[in-house]
Amino acid sequence: MRLALTLASESDWIKVFDPRDWTVFVAGSETARPNETVRLDLQVGDWSVTLRGLVVTMRSDPDGIVVALGPAERDKINYLNGFVRGGLLNLRTRRRLLVRLPVTYGAVDGPAKTFTKDINEEGAFLLTERPLPETSQLHMLFSIPGRNEPLSLRGTVSHVILPDDDMPAGMGVLFLLDEAQKLSVRDLIGELAAALDAGTLPSASTE
């Protein structure tokens, strides 16, 4: 079963998520059976993630379904809770650059080439019709304008958007960085932001 949950703001997440039992209330007229497997497409503002769980029960007044999220979703929920609280995990405090950078990454069938949809100090969104499973770790080589050598980084897939999701297909990747890499990526993002603002770097939104 597939459900969609669209929240207008981060504060709405607190209204539907119960941290005591890790359940989410999805309002609507859909019907479901207890223990039925659910794919939940969650959209919070401009941030999206796919969650999976099991139906616990149906509710009335208001109508809706209570979904218990599985243990595999813990990292994503912790990330989202930090995002909502406005703490260090809130990516809105960091500008997402809509920059189209060539990327080579390790896919299931070997090296795959693609482009970024956006990037910041914390991670990037890679465009692909065949995203890796969530929580997968991968190695990436980013081709940076003006640099002879690609930037080598590792990351973990935080969320995926499939081709049938009515959005550009791909996967969000959170970087796994040591202290030296954090400084390097921060400097890179500064360079890209300056070039983008100056109009010397093509924006992904114009592709």
Its domain, for residue 67, covers 2-92
Question: What is the pTM (predicted TM-score) of this model?
Answer: 0.60
CATH of the domain at 192: 2.40.10.220
Q: Answer yes or no: do 88 and 120 share one domain.
A: no
Q: Answer yes or no: do 80 and 101 share one domain.
A: no
Spatial CB neighbours of 78, under 8 Å, sequence gap ≥ 6? none
38, 60, 92: which is the final residue of a domain?
Answer: 92
Q: Answer yes or no: do 30 and 86 share one domain.
A: yes
pLDDT by 10s per residue, the chain, length 207: 889 888 887 778 888 888 888 899 999 888 888 999 999 888 876 667 788 899 999 988 889 999 999 877 776 777 677 666 554 334 444 567 888 999 999 988 889 999 999 898 989 999 999 999 888 999 999 999 888 999 999 999 888 887 765 567 888 899 999 999 999 999 999 989 888 877 777 555 544
Q: Answer yes or no: do 116 and 81 share one domain.
A: no
63, 92, 121: which is the final residue of a domain?
Answer: 92
- Residue 104 and residue 111: Cα distance in Å, rounded? 6
Spatial CB neighbours of 85, under 8 Å, sequence gap ≥ 6? none
